[in-house]
A = this chain, B = another copy of it.
Amino acid sequence: METPSSSLILDRETKASERPGDHKDELRLWLRMLTCSTLIETEIRNRLREEFKTTLPRFDLMAQLDKTAVGMTVGEVSQRLMVSNGNVTAVVAGLVTDGLVDKRSAPQDRRVQILTLTAQGRKFFRAMAERHEEWIAELFVGLDQADIAQLFRLLGQTKSSLHRAIAGRTDQAAKGDA
């Protein structure tokens, strides 16, 4: 039950906590995050094209393969990159054609394809990775160490929140299907 005066106050100073159902702050936050991501991604795409004549999906895929000595399966890569299997298949096809990636079925389980960087691929990737790291640093140059640490921490919280919310909904959907 509200008194008349409290709803007058509500009209004049609208704090988020006093407006159930309003989530404009979260929305603005998301839009700003998306703007930042898009700006960075577009810039990196442009530089990869200009300086290395390649694409971001190819760079990302090679980055995964560079992390391992023994190679990685299609499924592993698709999970880590958060893209579909079919997409990995397609991008790998291009990289194999260019001699940057090697693909062979595992001897003990012929369903599985093992992907590795070729010597040429590894060398090429390492050169790109070095430049890539410099580009990123250049883009974040307006933030000092403390800002970076804080932002990293807050995005860590965000990531946890996202995983919980998404897992929660996925579970519900699965229950509904059963």
Chain A, 6-43, CB within 8 A of any chain B CB: 16-17, 23-30, 32-43
List the B side residues contacting A38 at CB < 8 Å.
Answer: 82
| A139 within 8 A of partner (CB) | yes
A93 CB–B CB distance under 8 Å = no
Is there a chain B Cβ closer than 8 Å to A141's Cβ? yes
A158 within 8 A of B: yes
Beta-carbon contact of A150 and B161 below 8 Å: no
> Copies per complex?
2
On chain B, the residues within 8 Å of A155 by CB distance are 29, 32-33, 36, 151
- Interface of chain A: mostly helix, strand, loop or mixed: helix
Smallest CB–CB gap between A134 and chain B, Å? 7
Query: Are B161 and A140 in contact, CB atoms less than 8 angstroms apart?
Result: yes
Closest CB of chain B to A126's CB: distance in Å? 14
Q: Is the CB of A160 within 8 A of B136?
A: no
A127 contacts the other chain (CB 8 A): no
Shortest beta-carbon distance from A62 to chain B in Å:
15
Is A106 in contact with chain B by the CB < 8 A criterion? no
